[in-house]
Structure 1
């Protein structure tokens, strides 16, 4: 089927199989490997992208569901060679550790701050509840999200 959607701000048209996951489309067909596959079951959040303003686990979304929608991946945050403020602060606050969960954490943070630029700690924790960090980097991650919201 022919699929038309916006990817990282650019109109995109592709031929896709109706059963292809968004995660596989991004990584295999488009070479956007910043989105990671951790569990493949929607539990870990490593594959989080933003679809029409909402954080979604791309391992649970079929590519055919994107028709007419807007998708933002970690690669779309960088503008003109400049990292997004969230990315910069994650680095500065050492909220990265091994880095596997980082893109999902950043994308969940981006979605949260798009809707709520000054969240409480409880709102931050709720927004990141779908993301797992196996390195126990939550303290630095929470600090990075709080700092990003304070500096917005």
Structure 2
């Protein structure tokens, strides 16, 4: 990680593209994605790492972008919901009504996408463990679980 002490131009790899942004030392990745790059799929919720509405993938792992500094993402591969591009989990959420108000949906999609890639044969315990990282205020958990299981079962 580089150290910066003032607004600095840095390069980030976001959704497969190298992008240059001006970042202050205190800028969170969520702030930079939304305000510097116009990628608004990751949502501000709690802004302290509890709710998961801001979840993105860093090197294929789900990360809460509200608690990661922008400078920590230098040299990493960042994928936002805008970068998923027709992933099977997106269709599964639609087919299984894995959303209600939709505020938490992008975060859950990112978690479920990563889960399906890292653990294609995940059991119920692993699925529940991963889904605990995000909060749905509308209580759509059952449909979200059905959606992730529908794509995992197709791989078995």
Identify the TM-score tier after normalising by the shorter chain: over 0.9
Q: Does 1:133 align with 2:136?
A: yes
Task: Show the counterpart of 2:28.
Answer: 21
Task: Show the counterpart of 2:3.
Answer: none
In structure 1, the gaps of 5 or more residues are none
In structure 2, the gaps of 5 or more residues are 1-7
1:25 CA drift (Å): 0.6
Q: Secondary structure at the match of 2:114?
A: helix
1:84 CA drift (Å): 1.7
User: Deviation above 4 Å: which 4+ runs of structure 1?
Assistant: none
Task: Show the counterpart of 1:36.
Answer: 43
Q: Do 2:87 and 2:113's aligned partners in 1 also have CA atoms closer than 8 Å?
A: no
Q: Do 1:3 and 1:66's aligned partners in 2 also have CA atoms closer than 8 Å?
A: no
CA distance in 2, matches of 1:120, 1:39: 29
CA distance in 2, matches of 1:87, 1:54: 17
After superposition, the CA RMSD in angstroms is 1.0
Q: Does 1:96 align with 2:99?
A: yes
| Aligned residues between the structures | 148
- TM-score of the two chains, using structure 1 as the length reference: 0.93
CA distance in 2, matches of 1:69, 1:5: 7
1:114 CA drift (Å): 1.8
Task: Show the counterpart of 2:87.
Answer: 84
Task: Show the counterpart of 1:108.
Answer: 111
CA distance in 2, matches of 1:60, 1:39: 10
Task: Show the counterpart of 1:10.
Answer: 17
1:15 CA drift (Å): 2.1
CA distance in 2, matches of 1:110, 1:3: 28
Q: Do 1:4 and 1:66's aligned partners in 2 also have CA atoms closer than 8 Å?
A: no
Task: Show the counterpart of 1:74.
Answer: 81
1:29 CA drift (Å): 1.0
